[in-house]
């Protein structure tokens, strides 16, 4: 057989990939380092879906040049065998060719780097892409993949990167795009719209004639799993159990989701010990299964499964085991973090220490843990919530203020990002507002907004999710202040928001309210005109209904006018003056007029007894001779002077004679 495989393939009409593989192997027996034969072999293996064999062929190829020559095929083989990170790295080294970007985008999706996948698919869909072709199938695949990335961005709280928020007509033409649009709607909280789109996707899938019954069952499975989730969220548990019963017996990640949602639908009726065992066994089987490598849950889904496991262990009263298992992870984190999984683990650890107690009794067991982990966000928020539930919001405010102060004193960039995280700032502001401390809430929002403005300038405008909403809350609060500094800061915030999104009406309205003199028509063109806003308002009808009429005085009455047929109300007579008859407005009133007569400085007792009492009441006075007992101490002010009587009661003033 000729060793020149390309010449051989040109002279023949081989369309079967098995025949191409046999020809390539025959050529390699004669010359092991034949690069063209090696390339033909790996392509044939990929066409036959023998991805593990293709990777093995790349690793064992003689000469070492195959991975360089067939870099795209190597990246694709790595991706199909579950080595997504390696595939993304190989594709990234390939350059800007369209094929490499496709593989890198798929690998980024599998590694949950959804922002990178979104960036790549945006480039591939750009009309300026020189390599963009007019293949309808390629365009449809690109639309499907883009919709899947958008849905995952919504689920992972990165919806700010999604440009298309509402499903379009083209999304209803195929069951894949309808399913992706449904997932995005559900992630946004639009459950009713999501259910409608899921029904549409299920109908389109079942109506495809080119799919076999088994293929339809595999495609409908994820749709049913999501539908069951929506029904649970809508409180229609009986319907949810019926839908999820169709996929509960499945294998891999889909079957696991069905079993978990089935247990959730049962609520507290199930056995937590049995549920914990079933969940743990099926999760481990899914991870170990070689056939389910592409069917494993994403990491953010796996976190939810782990949280379910913790909840079941708490219900099973496995407190000591939870304390030990969570302590190992928590001990490795010495600084503050916003990682949701770590903070949830911290809450689970606190619940295990409290042994499912609540209120003041739980605080006795949880507060000592704060001394061990003073920078733990989840633990601090748990304690603050317990204080609020016990009606002690002031202590919750003080504790959270001390925590934020500790983060500021740490001074590192990471700690400061946690200090001004939108969630923590929102919790602090909510506590301030509940206590009526609006000034403190405004100061907290202003400080956070200033920090993220500086951070945005340093990081070229890239900000984490939630900061835009924080800017809006800060700007709205600062507009209520009368201080010039706050007004200027509000104007700066809304200007920044308008520059980020010129179509944002909230930012345009805030900019107009903060600086009406400097706001331009370009900045406020997204706002509706006043004439259009009031076009449907009937002024005469509003006036007839009792709208307050302006008056000539500075104040406007808020009362409705009296009916025309009502009787006039008689004016009340003015109250007579209660001033004394000898009142002189030019004379200074006595400042001691409110004191009792005997307590005034001008009071002088009359008579012999009064004089003696006056002398006794004087501070440092000495009793005159003959006025009483000379050895007695001055009388206490306010006490009566008694002569000839014993204070203690009993007999008279003279001592009776008797035996000694």
- Average pLDDT in the 9-22 region? 70
CA R_g for the chain: 41
Which range, 163-167, 277-281, 573-577, has the best average confidence (pLDDT)?
163-167
Which range, 254-258, 388-392, 505-509, has the best average confidence (pLDDT)?
388-392
Residue 438 has pLDDT above 70, yes or no: yes
- Average pLDDT in the 592-618 region? 76
Residue 634 has pLDDT above 50, yes or no: no
Secondary structure class of 392 (helix, strand, coil): coil
What pLDDT is attached to residue 2?
A: 45
Least confidently predicted of 5-14, 134-143, 586-595: 5-14
**pLDDT band at residue 164, thresholds of 50, 70 and 90?**
confident
- Average pLDDT in the 444-470 region? 83
- C-alpha–C-alpha distance, residues 67 and 62, integer Å: 11
What pLDDT is attached to residue 548?
A: 67
**pLDDT band at residue 610, thresholds of 50, 70 and 90?**
low
**pLDDT band at residue 649, thresholds of 50, 70 and 90?**
very low
**pLDDT band at residue 648, thresholds of 50, 70 and 90?**
very low
Q: What is the pTM of this model?
A: 0.64
Which range, 290-294, 312-316, 568-572, has the best average confidence (pLDDT)?
312-316
At 536-571, the pLDDT tens digits run 888 888 888 876 666 654 444 455 666 666 677 666
Least confidently predicted of 160-164, 300-304, 344-348, 621-625: 621-625
What pLDDT is attached to residue 6?
A: 57
Residue 1 has pLDDT above 70, yes or no: no
Q: Give the tokens for residue 197.
A: 């789109």
Taking each helix axis from N to C end, the angle separating 484-500 and 467-479, rounded to the nearest 10 degrees, works out to 150
> Are the C-beta atoms of 76 and 103 separated by less than 8 Å?
yes
Residue 100 has pLDDT above 50, yes or no: yes
What pLDDT is attached to residue 465?
A: 65
What distance, in Å, lies between the first and last C-alpha atoms of the chain?
154
If one compares 311 and 655, the residue with the highest pLDDT of the two is 311
Residue 63 has pLDDT above 90, yes or no: no
Residue 254 has pLDDT above 60, yes or no: yes
- Domains identified in the chain and CATH numbers: 420-526 (1.25.40)
φ, ψ (nearest 5 deg) of residue 353: -65, -40
For residue 608, give every residue at least 6 positions away whose Cβ sits within 8 Å of its Cβ, in sequence order, or none: none
- Average pLDDT in the 73-100 region? 91
Please, what is the average pLDDT of the chain?
80
φ, ψ (nearest 5 deg) of residue 12: -115, 170
DSSP 292: G
Q: What share of the chain is helix, strand, coil (3-state, %, to 5)?
A: 65, 0, 35
Which range, 208-217, 244-253, 457-466, 613-622, has the best average confidence (pLDDT)?
208-217
**pLDDT band at residue 163, thresholds of 50, 70 and 90?**
confident
> Are the C-beta atoms of 341 and 333 separated by less than 8 Å?
no
What pLDDT is attached to residue 635?
A: 46
- C-alpha–C-alpha distance, residues 510 and 553, integer Å: 31
**pLDDT band at residue 251, thresholds of 50, 70 and 90?**
low
- C-alpha–C-alpha distance, residues 546 and 164, integer Å: 45
- C-alpha–C-alpha distance, residues 85 and 345, integer Å: 27
- CB atoms under 10 Å from CB of 380, counted, come to 25
- Average pLDDT in the 63-74 region? 88
- C-alpha–C-alpha distance, residues 417 and 612, integer Å: 79
Q: Nearest-5° angle of CA 330, CA 427, CA 322?
A: 25
**pLDDT band at residue 629, thresholds of 50, 70 and 90?**
very low
Residue percentage of the chain with pLDDT more than 90: 33
Least confidently predicted of 81-90, 267-276, 314-323, 413-422: 267-276
- Average pLDDT in the 516-523 region? 68
What pLDDT is attached to residue 135?
A: 64
**pLDDT band at residue 481, thresholds of 50, 70 and 90?**
confident
Secondary structure class of 481 (helix, strand, coil): coil
HSE-up of residue 8 (Cα within 13 Å, Cβ side): 17
Residue percentage of the chain with pLDDT more than 70: 77
Residue 4 has pLDDT above 80, yes or no: no
């Amino acid at each position: 057989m000729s060793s020149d495989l390309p010449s051989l393939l040109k002279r023949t009409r081989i369309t079967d990939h098995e025949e191409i593989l046999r020809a390539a192997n025959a050529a390699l027996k004669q010359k092991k380092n034949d690069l063209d034969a090696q390339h033909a072999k790996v392509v044939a293996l990929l066409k036959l879906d023998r991805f593990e064999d293709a990777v093995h062929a790349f690793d064992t190829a003689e000469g070492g040049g195959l991975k360089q020559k067939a870099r795209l095929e190597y990246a694709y083989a790595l991706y199909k065998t579950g080595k997504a990170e390696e595939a993304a790295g190989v594709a990234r080294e390939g350059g800007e060719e369209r094929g490499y970007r496709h593989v890198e985008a798929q690998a980024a999706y599998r590694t949950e780097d959804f922002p990178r996948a979104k960036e790549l698919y945006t480039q591939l869909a750009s009309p300026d892409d020189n390599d963009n072709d007019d293949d309808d199938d390629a365009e449809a695949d690109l639309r499907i993949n883009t919709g899947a990335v958008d849905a995952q961005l919504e689920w992972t709280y990165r919806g700010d990167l999604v440009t298309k928020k509402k499903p379009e007509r083209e999304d209803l033409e195929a069951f894949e795009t309808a399913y992706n649009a449904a997932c995005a709607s559900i992630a946004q909280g639009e459950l009713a719209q999501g259910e409608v789109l899921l029904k549409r996707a299920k109908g389109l899938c079942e109506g495809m004639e080119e799919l076999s019954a088994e293929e339809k069952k595999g495609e409908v499975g994820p749709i049913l799993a999501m539908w069951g989730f929506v029904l649970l969220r809508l409180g229609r548990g009986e319907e949810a159990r019926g839908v999820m019963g169709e996929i509960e017996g499945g294998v891999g990640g889909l079957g696991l989701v069905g079993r978990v949602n089935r247990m959730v639908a049962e609520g507290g009726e199930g056995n937590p010990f049995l549920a914990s065992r079933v969940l743990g066994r099926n999760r481990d089987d899914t991870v170990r299964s070689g056939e389910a490598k592409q069917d494993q849950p994403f990491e953010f889904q796996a976190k939810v499964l782990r949280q379910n496991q913790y909840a079941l262990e708490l219900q099973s009263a496995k407190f000591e085991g939870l304390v030990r298992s969570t302590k190992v992870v928590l001990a490795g984190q010495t600084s503050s973090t916003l990682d949701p999984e770590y903070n949830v683990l911290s809450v689970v650890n606190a619940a295990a220490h409290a042994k499912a107690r609540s209120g003041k009794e739980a605080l006795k067991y949880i507060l000592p843990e704060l001394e061990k982990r003073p920078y733990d966000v989840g633990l601090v928020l748990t304690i603050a919530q317990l204080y609020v539930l016990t009606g002690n919001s002031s202590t919750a405010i003080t504790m959270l203020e001390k925590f934020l102060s500790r983060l500021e004193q740490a001074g590192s960039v990471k700690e400061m990002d946690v200090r001004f995280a939108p969630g923590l700032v929102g919790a602090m502001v909510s506590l301030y507002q509940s206590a009526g401390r609006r000034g403190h809430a405004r100061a907290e929002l202003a400080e956070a907004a200033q920090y993220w403005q500086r951070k945005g300038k340093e990081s070229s405008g890239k900000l984490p999710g939630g900061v835009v909403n924080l800017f809006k809350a800060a700007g709205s609060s600062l507009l209520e202040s009368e201080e010039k500094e706050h007004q200027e800061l509000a104007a700066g915030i809304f200007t920044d928001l308008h520059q980020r999104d010129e179509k944002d009406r909230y930012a345009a309205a805030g900019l107009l309210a903060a600086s009406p003199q400097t706001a331009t028509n370009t900045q406020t063109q997204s706002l509706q005109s006043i004439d259009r806003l009031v076009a449907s308002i009937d002024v005469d009808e509003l006036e007839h209904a009792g709208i307050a009429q302006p008056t000539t005085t500075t104040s406007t009455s808020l009362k409705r006018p009296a009916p025309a047929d009502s009787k006039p109300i008689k004016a009340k007579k003015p109250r007579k003056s209660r001033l004394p008859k000898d009142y002189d407005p030019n004379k200074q009133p006595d400042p001691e007029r409110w004191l009792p007569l005997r307590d005034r400085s001008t009071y002088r007792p009359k008579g012999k007894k009064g004089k003696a009492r006056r002398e006794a009441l004087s501070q440092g006075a000495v009793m005159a001779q003959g006025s009483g007992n000379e050895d007695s101490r001055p009388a206490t002010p306010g006490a009566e002077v008694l002569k000839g009587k014993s204070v203690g009661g009993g007999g008279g003033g003279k001592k009776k004679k008797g035996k000694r």
